[in-house]
Amino acid sequence: MTSNGEANQFDATHASADLPQKEQEILRQLKRDLKNGEDARRSLLSASAKWSLSEEIIEDAHHCYILAGEAFDLVSLMSRLAGDCEGVIPREDLADAVFVDEYALIMLNETLRMELGSVKYNQYLNYFYGVLLEEILIFATEDEVKKMYTSNGFRNVDKETDIAFSRLYGANERTLLDRYCAELGYGPIKGDMTVTRKQEFTYWLFKFRMRSAEPAKAASDVSKALTYMQMARNKSVYLSFMDVIN
């Protein structure tokens, strides 16, 4: 149950071909709701609230819904559930339900808390502020660096990412990535990161920044990222940002 705010938690991982009975029933109920004309997005939210698998292996692809045990990637789980419902309702309706404006979603506040339950709602807040907004903050800071250099006559800025990282975290990306690997017991990362690892690193950066950030500076950074997100929602820069993080 979720509408009464009952806490629902992730408590298992899964790598076998057959889903646990609980998850099979969640999918059956989701399909019944969709067939009966229930709102697709609300049905997916309800199923996500009940889902207990924190990660899965599906056709050799790794799907992780809870990063570092704390940050809930709600939209990824909704997308995974929608994938099992193709053919139940038109694909366009499923796509509209899954392609969520997360800024609008987070503004639902208590409505979303009631849908997800308090535990998953707080984990989604961790994801929104610690992953999504942190990625936007990095992107916005890189954009500021580019504008600063181009306004001074420099057309090509090769190290805007390292400059942005130094401004936000006091060190360049490579140094921080090595520290992240050392803290979590990972081997050195030399090539491209998986999407999950990149998101986990971003969440680690958020927590790293918050350890030493003064409250006023932390609030200012959140405000900057939210402002940039609002601005970007209706501008082409949003498409550029989505290309960067995906």
pLDDT digits (tens, 9 = 90+) for 117-152: 999 999 999 999 999 999 999 999 998 888 887 776
Q: Is the pTM of this model over 0.75?
A: yes
Residues making up the chain, counted from first to last:
246
Does 209 score more than 80 pLDDT? yes
Mean pLDDT check: name the lowest of 86-90, 124-128, 149-153, 226-230. 149-153
Residue type, 120: K
Q: What are phi and psi of 88, to 5 degrees?
A: -75, -45
Instruction: Check residue 242 and give its pLDDT.
Output: 55
Euclidean distance between CA atoms 94 and 121, whole angstroms: 22
pLDDT at position 1 is 44
- How does 142-177 read in b/e, with b if 16+ C-beta sit within 10 Å? bbbbbeebeeeeeeeeeebbbbbbbebbeeebeebb
